[in-house]
Structures are given as structure tokens and as C-alpha cells.
Amino acid sequence: MGRSARTKRPWYVESLQTGRGVCKAQALGLNKEEILATADGVLHEIGKLEIPQTILRKPTKLTPEEMLIMDLSEARGLVLFWVVREVHRG
């Protein structure tokens, strides 16, 4: 894909947060690969809410344990997204 969908269309990240984000993305000409890449980025950012600030702001190289925590941010984001969706469903 070359540049990421986020770099090409940074405003799209915001529209993904709505229920119609994927439809908007398709109407704007994003392909499935670009939509998925952007969605992964959104889940990563949501997952970072659970990562300690000491790791996020660490000025030196992360330890293997800290890297593992960072690598799990997408999974954490998916869990948080699911919990919020279930709460809103009632």
C-alpha cells in the first residue's frame, strides 16, 4: 500500500469512529486493505488507553516485557471496543 491510509487520509480515522465509517470509506474510494489498516490503527490507539504512561513516555528503549505490553494494545483495543458496544446494546 505504500503510505498508510492514515497518512493519505488522516480525517478518515475520525469517521471510522461512527457507525457508518466503513460505508463512508467505501464511498470515498478506500479499498478493503486501507479500511482494515486504518481500523487496526484505531484499535491500537484505543488499546493504548490501558498502557501505563511510564511505558508510553519512556525515553529509552523498551524492555522485552514492555514491548509485549505495547504489542497487545490492538487486542486490548478490541476488548474495550467490544465492552463499550455491549454496554450500549443494553
For residue 63, the model assigns a pLDDT of 96
Domain map of the chain by residue range?
5-89
Read off the pLDDT band of 89 (50, 70, 90). Answer: confident
Interval 24-53 mean pLDDT: 80
Residue 2 has pLDDT above 50, yes or no: no
- Burial (0-12, 13-18, 19+ Cβ within 10 Å), 86: exposed
- Could you tell me if 17 and 42 are in contact, meaning their C-beta atoms sit under 8 angstroms apart? yes
Q: pTM for the whole thing?
A: 0.52
Interval 45-49 mean pLDDT: 84
Interval 19-47 mean pLDDT: 76
